[in-house]
Amino acid sequence: MTEVLSVDPESPDPATIARAAEVIRRGGLVAFPTETVYGLGANAFDDAAVGRIFAAKERDPSDPVIVHLAEPADVSLAARAIPPLALALAERFWPGPLTLVLPRAERITPRVSAGLSTVAVRVPAHPVAHALIRAAGVPVAAPSANRFGRTSATTAAHVLADLAGRIDLVLDGGPSPHGVESTVVAFENGEAVVLRPGALTLEALAAALAELGAPPPAVRRRGPSSGSPGLLERHYAPRSPLVLVRGPAERVRAWLREALDARPDTPVGLLLFDEDAAALQPLRPCHRFVSLGGRSDLAGAARRLFAALRELDADAPAAIYAVEPEQKGLGLAIADRLRRAAEEVVDLGADG
Ligand code: TXA
Ligand code: MG
């Protein structure tokens, strides 16, 4: 049985937090809201507890998990020999959606890192996450609270859809404000390398690095040698095949129009910006549209992304067609998730 406890996202009830913290300390699993997505937490010092995370998610043991701390000053509980540039970024962006890959401290169970000598660490800004980790009194290992390879969870209902009966407790603190995961940054030869684009934009990271007199971040392409074993090609995936369409808006709409006309009676899900949907009207009843919002509101699109994918997937359509946002700001993280969720990418060429 999985228990669900509601908490105020701004000022969670201390008694509820104490109960959840007790579950973590006893070696149990607690799903909790963070500002990015919901995490599935366990005591990062406890090897058996971390093993339960992998079992509940059916997560590949080669995919390392992020360790969450209550305060930036706790970083030495999880990591050692921290590069000066990492400390400077932590000071600038913690608490917040930045994850740093650092040399792993001895007490963190190696299972967290899938055997690597490094550990990914972050200090979440969400009041519920903060209160829980603080009350637990230990670093909390927490991947996103979804079945492995599937769409991430941004509400307690998403967590339950994937993990009910497999975990002890869900703290329901409402929807996660950012809606996409943290930005993962590693350090190579003293320089920052982005392993996963996320809620902290590349522009904000580059500006901070420039202020620190450091070179702009390299962005690592995914693949077997990416240094981040969990960055598998197909991830975040709905059950229905997702087709991602990218290119100039006019061409994308023409492609969609033709694709829908060719399948007039086939249930198809559409993950579109409002402007694209307006241009495709009228839609047939079996062509179901869920909005990402307006094209210029990338923060809104990030917030809606995973819920929208889950909503479309619930109807088990023959396919889900999604359009790629502009490659700037949060658009980078959204496009990354959609590409990795996609079974097929239709590339209609560059803008202009
Ligand atoms: O926003 C987030 O980061 C959320 C919330 C819950 O904090 N967590 C999250 O965890 O997205 P997860 O496990 O779904 O993704 C962790 C990512 C993976 O891409 C993994 O490869 C990378 O972090 N990672 C973890 N440890 C690493 C390490 N030691 N070296 C390189 N990459 C690592
Ligand atoms: Mg994940």
144-157, pLDDT tens digit by residue? Answer: 999 999 999 999 99
Beta bridge partners of 290: 271
Name which residue sits closest to atom 20 of ligand 1, judged by CA. Answer: 230
Beta bridge partners of 268: 287, 319
Confidence of residue 234 (pLDDT cuts 50, 70, 90): confident
Cα of 118 to ligand 2 centre, how many Å?
Answer: 18
Any idea which ligand is nearest the CA of 220?
1
| Cβ density class 110-127: b for 16+ within 10 Å, e for less | ebbbbebebbbbbbbbbb
Q: Ligand 1, residue 181: give the atom nearest the CA.
A: 1
Confidence of residue 351 (pLDDT cuts 50, 70, 90): low
Q: Where in the chain is the domain with CATH 3.90.870.10?
A: 3-226
pLDDT, tens digit, for every residue of 15-56? 999 999 999 999 999 999 999 999 999 999 999 999 999 999
223 or 51: which carries more pLDDT confidence? 51
Q: Reply yes or no on whether the pLDDT at 88 is more than 60.
A: yes
CATH code for the structural domain at 3-226: 3.90.870.10
pLDDT, tens digit, for every residue of 335-345? 999 999 999 99
Instruction: Tell me the mean pLDDT in the region 167-193.
Output: 97
Q: Reply yes or no on whether the pLDDT at 227 is more than 70.
A: no
DSSP state of 319: E
Full-model pTM: 0.96
- The residue whose CB lies within 8 Å of the most ligand 1 atoms, and thus the one to mutate among 32, 34, 154, 181, is 181
Name which residue sits closest to atom 10 of ligand 1, judged by CA. Answer: 143
Q: Which CATH class is domain 242-347?
A: alpha beta
Q: Ligand 1, residue 180: give the atom nearest the CA.
A: 1
Q: Where in the chain is the domain with CATH 3.40.50.11030?
A: 242-347
